[in-house]
């Protein structure tokens, strides 16, 4: 039988075809999984928040190190006493009273418990170690003349956070005299928080008259002069890195304290993420900033810095002395991935142009396998006593090569 195309379906094969006016059954929609994922994320964040709070991580955490200023001293204090090096115990009220009465240190009662371990570093009116500006002693009859070396530079030369006998100039003097019967004298004329401009001014006005036989400039990588525009750019990124943070008034302490604000104050998880991202930001910007000091972005400042080195070198030559430059690296990974090689290369080239003997301390320091033993504290990467010892040994070897007649 023939069927017209408009006839209704018949037979088993046609039973699956819906009538013309029938409504198809709804297709089941897949279950949405994002509410479950969001809920899991929120639960995870809540657990992390609780765990961080239990562990004590959160807003208003105290400083890792602080610096108190007193009459004729600086008191550097830390939250950890690595290798039991720090000999001041601020948990003793009598010790704190001594600093208040004897040195006029500002009230530290609100903050000392964060960093109870300290060391005293004395300083004179020039912010140098005391007793360095003194006449050259006369040579006794029949004795060889004493060789006077003057060490200049910033806090790496001064010995930030180190006891009087531990900065590299003091250790260098001990090494030189061990086999030369007190023939050498090393004056530690380093001043913390200075650049080459301030160092040049100090040297030309106060140190050159001390009649050195040689001058050793302990150069740290942030020592160049910064042009006004370059310094402003640095302040801007540093201010950005400190967003959502403010510092306690200076009448309590000089460095180290941070009180967080905004979302960081209310969420330890947010604070932790912010800190990690900020560390990466600071690391990247610091790399650009240091290497940039020696490049076209700071062309004016770097030109002035080289000119000031030439001033010191020429003044030394005119007074029968010689300037030496000892380059301190950033005390981080000193191996092949060390990121400040361009700065070292620029300094070495500048010294070669001006015929200034140059020693890169990175070459010796990198042989020590444990970088954390070369710094004072994880939050304060100034050189430790051990790093200064390694540097002093390298400088002694350098001087023996440059001035063999001194050691005959």
Query: Can you tell me the mean pLDDT for 3-11?
Result: 49
Place 140 in a pLDDT band, splitting at 50, 70 and 90.
confident
- In CATH, the number for domain 147-226+293-407 is 3.40.50.1110
d(CA 94, CA 82): 23
Nearest to 172 by CA among 395, 344, 332, 326: 395
Count of other CB atoms within 10 angstroms of residue 30: 6
d(CA 347, CA 128): 25
Q: Tokens 């002093």 — which residue?
A: 392
Highest mean pLDDT pick, 15-19, 283-287, 373-377: 373-377
pLDDT at 236: 84
Average pLDDT value over all residues in the chain: 86
pLDDT digits (tens, 9 = 90+) for 94-110: 999 999 999 998 878 88
Place 369 in a pLDDT band, splitting at 50, 70 and 90.
confident
pLDDT digits (tens, 9 = 90+) for 165-212: 999 999 999 999 998 888 999 999 999 999 999 999 999 999 999 999
Place 296 in a pLDDT band, splitting at 50, 70 and 90.
very high
Ranges in the chain annotated CATH 3.40.50.1110: 147-226+293-407
pLDDT digits (tens, 9 = 90+) for 251-287: 334 444 455 666 767 777 887 887 788 788 888 888 9
Query: Over pLDDT 90: what percentage of the chain?
Result: 59
pLDDT at 226: 96
Place 1 in a pLDDT band, splitting at 50, 70 and 90.
very low
């Amino acid at each position: 039988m023939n069927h017209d195309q408009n006839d209704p379906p018949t037979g088993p094969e046609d039973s699956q075809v819906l009538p013309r006016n029938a409504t198809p059954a709804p297709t089941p929609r897949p279950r949405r999984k994002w509410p479950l994922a969001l809920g899991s994320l929120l639960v995870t964040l809540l657990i992390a928040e609780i765990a961080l709070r239990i562990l004590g991580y959160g807003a208003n955490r105290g400083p890792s190190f602080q610096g108190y200023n007193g009459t004729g001293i600086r008191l550097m204090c830390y939250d950890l006493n690595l290798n039991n090096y720090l000999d001041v115990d601020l948990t003793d009220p009598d010790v704190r009273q001594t600093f208040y009465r004897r040195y006029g240190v500002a009230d530290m009662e609100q903050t000392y418990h964060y960093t109870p371990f300290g060391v005293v570093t004395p300083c004179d009116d020039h912010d140098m170690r005391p007793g360095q500006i003194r006449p050259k002693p006369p040579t006794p009859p029949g004795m060889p003349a004493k060789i006077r070396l003057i060490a200049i530079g910033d806090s790496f030369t001064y010995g930030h956070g180190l006891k009087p006998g531990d900065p590299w100039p003091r250790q260098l003097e001990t090494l030189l005299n061990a086999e030369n019967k007190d023939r050498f004298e090393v004056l530690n004329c380093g001043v913390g928080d200075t650049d080459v401009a301030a160092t040049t001014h100090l040297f030309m006005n106060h140190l050159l008259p001390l009649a050195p036989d040689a001058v050793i400039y302990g150069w740290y990588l942030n020592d160049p002069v910064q042009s006004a525009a370059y310094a402003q750019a640095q302040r801007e990124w540093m201010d950005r890195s400190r967003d959502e943070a403010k510092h306690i008034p200076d009448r309590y302490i000089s460095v180290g304290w941070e009180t967080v604000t905004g979302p960081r104050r209310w969420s330890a998880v947010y604070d932790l993420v912010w800190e990690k991202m900020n560390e990466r930001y600071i690391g990247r910007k610091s790399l650009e900033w240091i290497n940039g000091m020696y490049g076209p972005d700071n062309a004016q400042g770097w030109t002035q810095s080289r000119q000031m080195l030439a001033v010191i070198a020429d003044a030394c030559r005119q007074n029968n002395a010689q300037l030496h430059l000892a380059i301190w690296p950033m005390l981080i990974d000193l191996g092949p991935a060390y990121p400040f090689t361009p700065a070292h290369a620029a300094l070495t080239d500048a010294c070669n142009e001006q015929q200034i003997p140059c020693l890169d301390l990175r070459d010796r320091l990198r042989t020590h396998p444990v970088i954390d033993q070369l710094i004072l504290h994880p939050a304060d990467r100034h050189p430790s006593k051990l790093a200064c010892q390694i540097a002093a040994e390298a400088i002694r070897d350098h001087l023996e090569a440059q001035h063999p007649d001194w050691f005959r």
